[in-house]
Structure 1
Amino acid sequence: MAIQRRRFLAVAGSGVAAGFAGCAAVSDGNGDEGDGGPAISGESITLTTTTSTYDTGLLDEVNLSFEERYGVGVETVSEGTGAALEHARNGDSDVVMVHARSLEDEFIEDGYGVNRRDLMFNDFVVVGESDDPAGISGAEEITEAFEEIAATESTFLSRGDESGTHTKELEIWDAAGVDEFGEWYQERGQGMGEVLSQTNQGGGYTLADRGTYLSMQSDIDLEILVEGPIEGGPELLANPYGIVAVNPAVHENVEYDLAMAYIGYLTSVEGQKIIAEYAVDGEQLFFPEALAEEPNFQQYVPEDWERTTDD
């Protein structure tokens, strides 16, 4: 989907001002605040997000519900996490939904994102053909599985697109101590759905998010060989998603109030219920994470930020 570049403010230096928090009150369509009918009409926001949220069909479900309630259109651009955040840095989107916390933290630390919220999670899995030439099926540690793939020089298809999945894959190779790659390692520069299709056609292994795999399971002959934490696998394969508003102090053109309305809706009881109930062939693809009896306040700021106090 083509994106029209928007006008934005030039930012001097590496630090930029933090944006204001909050969301404008919504009206009932008659100029009064209330909860009767659509709050805003004739407006739209641009969401940049990962291919996994788009390919699974989840966004069709949640965006339609948001649009029907508030009369606000959602223009969705699906790419890898890196590209989605880059468009937001350039002022080409109003809100970002991605799944690479290290890249989200950098986005916030650089001043481009505000009001981050935990949204949902699933996990990553290693999939491949049933013959499993590297013998990784049922491996308890993902690092051991990656070591065996490298040692046997079994074909591995990488997203290679700076997406959240690619970022996680590189993290695993690093943890496994694998730093030399031969012809067996193939970077495709494609989205998750396309890489799964290519793995199905040509053989080999790939790292996939569970949601996209399940949404395509009936059309491919790949099996889950290494499970993630949802099915008792290693925590290193956890796959949390966050949602972040683009900072209006950096890009004055962004639809900040509408972005916050969208974030508020997806993290509300209603939005989280839609996420929890979304399934393909009876399989739940994502698990809501915004609502908790004991909120995780660390979600709002980069993970390495610490509170300091004066003695």
Structure 2
Amino acid sequence: MTKHRREFLAALGATATVGLAGCTGGSALGDSNEMPGVAGETLTLTTTTSTYDTGLLDELNAPFEEMYGVTVDSVAQGTGAALETARNGDSDVVMVHARSLEDEFMREGYGVNRRDIMFNDFVVVGPEDDPVGIGGVGSATEAFSTIADQGATFVSRGDNSGTHTKELAIWGAAGVEPSGDWYRETGQGMGEVLNVANESGGYTLSDRGTYLSQRSEISLVIHVQGPIEGGPELLANPYGILAVNPAAHDNVNYDLAMAYIGYITSPEGQRRIEEYTANGEQLFYPEALSEDPDFQQYVPEGWSGNSTDG
């Protein structure tokens, strides 16, 4: 790391700590006694079902609750529903994994201070005997095309979640509009969809974390890998966290939301994400701390702050 980069990151960290302390009235990671009025409060977090189904939320939230003397009320929904709850002013902070929906939320003025927090990837799973032969194709679009052409059962979230959004993008890239008896939309979370696919002998798209956490209870296997195991980048699955804009809803607990974002993106929060496992497998990979930070994480993708005025 260059001297200038070290100085920059040190300055950035100091600014963030001062800013958070200014919001909370105490140390960024101090105990609740240093934050007058915080102890006893409740933070409402709306989040994707994958963070709940894998057990990650319990691992992350318990230390934060103890640290500040607060309660985190976690509402697990598909990404679309989680963001809609926040649009209605019924959430303080949102942790989701569909960048296009996050960007729309920010452009509408409902979300602020977005941060990258972690990633894993998506995988295409199905029966071990792989009746349509998608194993080893290495392409999600080819796998989806084959499933559609042969009318094999495909179980969809069908709930405007991050996984459903990715699934639709893959169908679009494959030039397929899925419909018919072979295509089953459940409107359920990832864990339930895996159970349905397992019972019906069908295929589905899953985030790797939820699949690994349930692998010992189902007979589905991975037929198309994501980029973590050398698969296509199309199956990448980044997660972000956003505070609900207090200018849009003055009832939101913005200070506590920012304290939570600070905790999740801190070395402590990132360490807990990295060390969290299920069935001996790492489920998520931390992304908030980097020697080469992506500043596009704070704003909608493609946004430019360059003014055309003279």
Q: TM-score, normalised by structure 2?
A: 0.89
**1:26 CA drift (Å):** 3.9
Moved over 6 A (4+): none
Coordinate RMSD, CA, aligned? 1.4
Q: Point out the more displaced range, 54-63 or 39-48.
A: 39-48
CA distance in 2, matches of 1:60, 1:191: 18
CA distance in 1, matches of 2:151, 2:61: 43
For residues 144-223 of structure 1, the aligned pairs below 5 Å read 144-223=142-221
Q: Are the structure 2 counterparts of residues 172 and 104 from structure 1 closer, same or farther at C-alpha, using a change threshold of 3 Å?
A: same
Q: Among the aligned pairs, what percent are the same residue?
A: 69
* Structure 2 partner of 1:53: 51
Aligned partner letter, 1:54 = Y
Aligned partner letter, 2:129 = D
**1:37 CA drift (Å):** 3.1
SS where residue 233 of structure 1 aligns?
coil
CA distance in 2, matches of 1:91, 1:109: 16
CA displacement, residues 250-283 of structure 1 (integer Å, 9 cap, x when unaligned): 1000000000000000000100000000001210
* Structure 2 partner of 1:87: 85
* Structure 1 partner of 2:132: 134
1:254 aligns with 2:252: yes
CA distance in 2, matches of 1:122, 1:237: 9
CA distance in 2, matches of 1:37, 1:174: 49
CA distance in 2, matches of 1:179, 1:161: 17
* Structure 2 partner of 1:276: 274
CA distance in 2, matches of 1:177, 1:72: 49
Aligned partner letter, 1:137 = G
Aligned length: 286
**1:41 CA drift (Å):** 1.0
SS where residue 124 of structure 1 aligns?
strand
SS where residue 261 of structure 1 aligns?
helix
Q: TM-score, normalised by structure 1?
A: 0.89
**1:141 CA drift (Å):** 1.3
CA distance in 2, matches of 1:35, 1:280: 28
The question of whether the paired residues in 1 share the 8 Å contact of 2:46 and 2:94 is answered with yes
**1:304 CA drift (Å):** 2.1
CA distance in 2, matches of 1:65, 1:144: 44
The question of whether the paired residues in 2 share the 8 Å contact of 1:108 and 1:114 is answered with yes
The question of whether the paired residues in 2 share the 8 Å contact of 1:27 and 1:35 is answered with no
CA distance in 2, matches of 1:128, 1:180: 17
For residues 113-132 of structure 1, the aligned pairs below 5 Å read 113-132=111-130
* Structure 2 partner of 1:300: 298
Select the residue among 31, 51, 56 that pairs with 1:37: 31
5+ residue gaps, structure 2: 1-18
Q: Are the structure 2 counterparts of residues 57 and 111 from structure 1 closer, same or farther at C-alpha, using a change threshold of 3 Å?
A: same
Aligned partner letter, 1:37 = D
**1:171 CA drift (Å):** 0.3
